[in-house]
């Protein structure tokens, strides 16, 4: 799925806020699926563990883990903050053209299909106002405000 560059340019227009690819209502199984998906896709990765703690030990966040995966020209950063949500943030300034926007959209679509869960693109830490979403049940992107509002309301 590709969008007119005007739509993508508006979504990724730099305004000082990072964007976030967000999957709500996740479990450890979803996190395992995410890691298997990333490995199967062959993305270039970096991983840092600045602590000796386990991921999500006793249901608490662990700020010492950081995974970065690289699409063509765009770095996605995963900090493993919460077990119940997957979030990968990105710098919208790295999305400079239609090709890099389509890399992000392709990742969202593939992730949604791998997890069989909706994947949203929103401003960082803004859970109730998605800019774009991919619904694996309908195998399509949601772009209209009413569709996104409905999808977000069903997820929260």
Q: Which domains are seen in the chain, by residue range?
A: 18-116 (3.30.310)
Residue 68 burial by Cβ neighbours in a 10 Å radius (0-12, 13-18, 19+): middle
Q: How many CB atoms lie within 10 A of CB 121?
A: 21
**What confidence score (pLDDT) does residue 136 get?**
92
In this structure, is the dihedral angle defined by the CA atoms of residues 106, 107, 110 and 112, taken in order, positive or negative?
Answer: negative
Residue 7 has pLDDT above 50, yes or no: yes
Q: What is the average per-residue pLDDT within 90-114?
A: 94
Q: What is the average per-residue pLDDT within 130-149?
A: 76
Give me the torsion for CA of 36, 85, 2, 10, rounded to 10°: -140
Q: Which residues pair with 20 in a beta bridge?
A: 89, 122
pLDDT tens sequence across 43-98? 888 887 765 444 444 555 555 578 899 998 899 999 888 889 999 999 999 999 98
Mean pLDDT of the chain: 82
**What confidence score (pLDDT) does residue 88 get?**
95
Q: Which residues pair with 113 in a beta bridge?
A: none
Residue 32 has pLDDT above 50, yes or no: yes
């Amino acid at each position: 799925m590709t969008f007119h560059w005007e739509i993508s340019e508006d979504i990724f227009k730099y305004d000082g806020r990072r964007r976030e690819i967000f999957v709500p209502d996740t479990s450890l199984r979803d996190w395992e699926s995410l890691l298997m998906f990333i490995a199967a896709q062959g993305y270039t990765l970096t991983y840092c563990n600045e602590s000796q703690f386990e991921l999500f030990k006793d249901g608490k966040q662990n700020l010492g883990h950081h995974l970065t995966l690289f699409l063509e020209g765009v770095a996605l950063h995963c900090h493993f903050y919460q077990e119940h949500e997957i979030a990968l943030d990105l710098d919208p300034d790295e999305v400079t053209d239609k090709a890099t926007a389509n890399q992000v959209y392709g990742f969202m679509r593939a992730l949604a299909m791998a997890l069989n869960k909706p994947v949203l693109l929103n401003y960082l830490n803004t859970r109730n106002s998605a800019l774009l979403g991919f619904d694996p049940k309908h195998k399509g992107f949601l772009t209209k405000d009413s569709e996104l509002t409905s999808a977000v309301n069903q997820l929260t």
